[in-house]
Amino acid sequence: MQGEAAADRRVVAVEGADALPFLQGLVSNDVLPLGKGPGIVWAALLTPQGKYLADFFIARQGDALLLDLPEAVAEATLRRLTMYRLRADVRLAPSALHVQRGLGDAPPDALPDPRHPALGWRRYGVEAGTAPRIDWDAIRVAHVIPETGSELIVDDSYILESGFERLHGVDFRKGCYVGQEVTARMKHKTELRKGLARVRITGEAGYGTEITAEDKPAGTLLTRSGDRAIAYLRLDRATGPMQAGAAAVELDQSPDAAAIVQP
């Protein structure tokens, strides 16, 4: 059984005795459980100021430890990881494996997407996979799941505003990592005033359109699917009717709506 090809991903093997401790000290999630057997973790790499640089999956398949990276940030991420490597016994090696993903029944060697059950499974193998057919943007919008370059902006986004806690991408008990101090302070000492949420739209408005409320800036429209979209909002101004250009916008209050800012 094959899944769809994920051509916008790059797989890199992480080798060496220090591979897991090296990643543990850098990323937002706890990767040490991968030392016990097959599994998959979603995590972010941050700046020292706590801003987003990249998100990726770290998977253990057999004896191999793999990074499943968005192609758009792969080179910059690998350069950053190499910079942090210093004298650690870690090697980042190109892999010939491809990423497949799918919904429904999973192949025996597939791993469940750790972010949300609606995202199905991921598989790493020598075959590229079938032509894409699934509307992944519709799934992301329905469950408010951010994507690199769309909702997750390098040197700008904060992972708690982007929903990493709800989507199992950050661990507050794992200890130090780059950007941990800022992230922990946002969690424990401040109330988030901005973040991602799902909205309903009536009218034409596309990605990047400014959202206003009573003529005041209230946020930005991001990925849209049909009459719903992910938006980055100022939460104190998103309580009533809003506009995005000529389109009417309102916070989606339906039972399955999930604002990321409310884990």
The pLDDT score that the predictor gives to residue 253 is 77
Residue with tokens 């996979």: 129
Q: How many residues does the chain have?
A: 263
pLDDT given for residue 63 in this prediction: 86
Predicted TM-score of the model (pTM)? 0.94
**Both tokens of residue 151?**
């909702």
Residue whose entry in the numeric block shows the structure tokens 């209050």: 253
Q: Collect all residues with Cβ–Cβ distance below 8 Å to 189 and sequence separation of at least 6.
A: none
Asked if the structure places residue 172 within a domain, the reply is: no
Residues 209, 137: one domain? no
Q: Is 173 a member of any domain?
A: no
Asked if 123 and 239 sit in the same domain, the reply is no
Q: Is residue 258 part of a domain?
A: no
Asked whether residue 8 falls in the same domain as residue 133, the answer is: yes
198 in the same domain as 139: no
* Dihedral sign for Cα atoms in the order 143, 24, 97, 83: positive
Q: Residue 103's domain is classified under what CATH number?
A: 3.30.70.1400
Residue segments in the chain with a per-residue pLDDT below the cut of 70: 255-263
* pLDDT tens profile 78-89: 999 999 999 999
Same domain, 15 and 130: yes
Whole domain around residue 80: which residue ranges? Answer: 4-143
Same domain, 124 and 217: no
Q: CA-CA distances (angstroms) from residue 30 to 21, 120, 245?
A: 10, 21, 42
What are the pLDDT digits (tens) for 166-197?
999 999 999 999 999 999 999 998 889 999 99
pLDDT for position 214? 95
Please check whether residue 83 lies inside any domain of the structure: yes
Q: What is the pLDDT of residue 42?
A: 98
Token code pair at residue 96? 């010939």
Query: Considering its fold, how many domains does the chain have in total?
Result: 2
Whether 38 and 49 have beta carbons less than 8 Å apart is answered as: no
DSSP 91-159: EEEE---EEEEESSSPPTT-EE-SS-GGG-EEEEESS--BPP-S-HHHHHHHHT---BTTTB-TTT-BT
